[in-house]
Amino acid sequence: MTSDPKYLERDAKYLSPALGRASDLVIVEGSGSYITDDKGEKYLDMTSGIAVNQVGHSHPEVVQAIAEQAAKCIHTSCVVHYPANIDLATKLAELMPGDLSQTFFANSGAEAVDGSLKLCKLAKPGRTNFIVHKGSFHGRSIGGTSLTTSKSSYRRYYDPLLPGIHLVDYPNSYAHDTKAGREDFENTLGAELEDLFVRAVHPESVAAIYIEPLLGEGGYIPAPREFKNYLKYLREICDKYGILLVFDEVQSGFGRTGKWFCFEHYGVVPDIVLMAKGLSGGLPLGAFAASPELMGKMPPGSHGSTFGGNPISCRAALKLIEILERDNVMANVEARSKQIFDFFEAKFPGSNQNLYPDKRNDKIGVRGMGLMVGLEFKDAETVSKIKDFALERKVMLLGCGSHGNIIRLAPDLTISEEDTQKAIDVIAEAIESL
């Protein structure tokens, strides 16, 4: 394989600088849990394209499904009906709990967010306010950016954004070390939201509350559920005041946490669920789903997408879902998650933030669900050093968090025990070297 030393030069010359990159690697091939650069060097990918490649890079069955569909029909848009689109919507209805049985397909998570905002406005006319949680990431379109608060840099220069967006803290139980401290914290959840209703925003003026059941870009923090089920609390508040409850499962969906959707861990069903990333195994596809009654508030022509739900992406998604079901991939997610948590707790006692250690480890904290695991460090500089250390040893890592002090582990859901161990051994070596 030949290497072109001018790839990055042409990248800088012809591609917009707006899209930042996590590394200078030029990747030309991917297979399973590995990516290969233009020099033929292989890297263990613990990012899976930011929680997208659920069954690894270029899974042969997904590739075959794409090729077969491409040979039949690549694009139809909304001119006609097409079986792939209908088949996927039918399958999603089977997977969804409650009556979330109608889907609108888009191209990305950000488009799903924007479409859901329209649905909320149509369903709740006269209600001009929305409530979101600090630290959330809901995309970079104007609508998505208006809801996003994981980093101020995502919003810089773009004000004024959509009006009527109000913020409450995302509840972080991990900020409290002891069991008693967490219990006290979780038992007070909702006080800030209720104070907002009293002082600034009447609940009957609110169209919807948005939340990531497991905070993604903001730091890989699951919503509390041990002492007080926060999602259940939001469901009760929304039912009380006629507010729509929207769960953003763009990053946490499709097996990432060990269930089809993270909200299933909480026993709560939203009014609208947002999907993308892992939905189609690497092809552009986003969606939002709701009940037929709610989705019926959008009359024909009130929203649209030229490429959304295209036949190739839909066939890839159907094959992905088939593989997840057939190969019992969720069991591997649980096993590899336990492997990660157990390893770090043994290596760095007090690091498992799901437990209540007598003393927290001062080097690393581990949190999350399934294969959506956050490694917390003291600062962004430490994260940068660990990422560089790992990259030299051919392991690709990605950071997150509002302060940049989190490494996210989001490998493919089919990653092997051996490759998982390889990655966490390198991270442990990096921590000890620092």
Model confidence at 6, in pLDDT bands (50, 70, 90)? Answer: confident
Q: Residue 276: which of 128, 137, 133, 94 has the closest Cα?
A: 137
Q: What is the mean pLDDT of residues 188-192?
A: 94
Position 1 scores a pLDDT of 40
- 322-346 residue pLDDT tens: 999 999 999 999 999 999 999 999 9
pLDDT of the residue at 4: 67
pLDDT at 118 over 50: yes
Q: What confidence tier does 139 reach under pLDDT thresholds 50, 70, 90?
A: very high
pLDDT tens digit sequence for 227-280 = 999 999 999 999 999 999 999 999 999 999 999 999 999 999 999 999 999 999
Whether residue 146 has pLDDT greater than 90? yes
pTM for this entry = 0.96
Residues 62-91 have a mean pLDDT of: 96
Q: Which residues pair with 374 in a beta bridge?
A: 367, 408
* pLDDT tens string 392-432: 999 999 999 999 999 999 999 999 999 999 999 999 999 99
- The pLDDT of residue 14 is above 70: yes
- Tens digit of pLDDT for each residue in 353-401? 988 877 889 999 999 999 999 999 999 999 999 999 999 999 999 999 9
And the tokens for 23? 């590394």
Q: Are strands 34-37 and 27-31 parallel, antiparallel or unpaired?
A: antiparallel
pLDDT higher than 80, residue 2: no
- The CATH classification of domain 7-61+328-433, taken from the options 3.90.1150.10, 1.10.10.10, 3.30.413.10, 2.60.40.1840: 3.90.1150.10
Res. 3: pLDDT tops 60? no
Backbone angles phi, psi at 430, to 5 degrees: -65, -45
- On average, the pLDDT of the chain sits at 95
CA distances from residue 3 to 6, 27, 31, 320 in whole angstroms, order as listed: 9, 11, 19, 33
Q: Where are the domains of the chain?
A: 7-61+328-433, 73-326
| Whether pLDDT at 198 is above 50 | yes
Alpha-carbon separation of residue 36 from 1, 32, 394, 422, 424 (angstroms): 11, 11, 10, 17, 20
Residue with tokens 């990918």: 45
Q: What does the CA dihedral 310, 312, 318, 319 come to, rounded to 10 degrees?
A: -170
May I ask the CATH architecture of the domain 73-326? Answer: 3-Layer(aba) Sandwich (3.40)
The predicted-structure confidence for 282-310, as pLDDT tens digits, reads as follows 999 999 999 999 999 999 999 999 999 99
